């Protein structure tokens, strides 16, 4: 668990570091190492940084935050769907996953299926019939 937490923190730090560097470059051309300060980033600072994140990073960061929160609440590593424990190997490979391998593949399968009827439905549905 400690191992996973460390990994999550590192991922979080990597995103924030990238961002910090990007922001630093874009706002002022301060030359100097700011890396050490990131450890002390407080919530306000995180929020400020968060607004500058691109959507993809935001998504990732959110998942990391949620995973870290789950670790604190001792709910980490439990599948959101079936409530079963997620395998440790899976957690190490995908530290912020919320679904066990079974539910994940089930979800992907369902997604793949539901996409087709949805399209079919719009063809047969009267609300989209008039074009
Ligand atoms: Zn599951």
Q: How far is the CA of 120 from the centre of ligand 1 (A)?
A: 29
Residue 10 has pLDDT above 50, yes or no: yes
CA angle 27, 55, 92 (to 5 degrees): 110
**Topology (CATH) of 2-99:** 1.20.120
What residues form DSSP beta bridges with 78?
85
Model-level pTM?
0.56
Number of H helices, E strands in the chain: 5, 0
Q: How far is the CA of 117 from the centre of ligand 1 (A)?
A: 25
Q: How far is the CA of 112 from the centre of ligand 1 (A)?
A: 18
List, for residues 89-112, the tens digit of each pLDDT value.
Answer: 999 888 989 999 999 999 999 887
Burial 41-56 (b: 16+ CB within 10 A, else e): eeeeeeeebbeebeee
The pLDDT score that the predictor gives to residue 23 is 66
Q: Please, are residues 12 and 64 in contact by the beta-carbon 8 Å criterion?
A: yes
List, for residues 12-58, the tens digit of each pLDDT value.
Answer: 999 888 877 766 665 544 444 455 554 555 666 666 665 666 677 77
The CA distances from residue 76 to 15, 63, 107, in Å, are 21, 12, 20
Q: How far is the CA of 54 from the centre of ligand 1 (A)?
A: 30
- In the chain, where the domains are located: 2-99
Q: How far is the CA of 62 from the centre of ligand 1 (A)?
A: 21
């Amino acid at each position: 668990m400690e191992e996973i937490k460390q990994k999550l923190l590192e991922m979080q730090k990597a995103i924030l570091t990238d961002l910090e560097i990007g922001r630093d470059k874009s706002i002022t051309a301060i030359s100097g190492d700011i890396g050490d300060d990131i450890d002390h980033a407080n919530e306000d600072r995180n929020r400020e940084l968060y607004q500058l994140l691109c959507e993809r990073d935001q998504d990732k960061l959110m998942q990391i935050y949620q995973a870290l929160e789950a670790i604190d609440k001792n709910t980490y590593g439990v599948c959101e769907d079936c409530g079963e424990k997620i395998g440790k190997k899976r957690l190490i490979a995908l530290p912020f996953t919320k679904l066990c391998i079974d539910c994940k593949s089930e979800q992907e399968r369902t997604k793949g299926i539901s996409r087709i009827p949805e399209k079919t439905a719009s063809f047969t549905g009267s609300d989209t019939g008039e074009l």
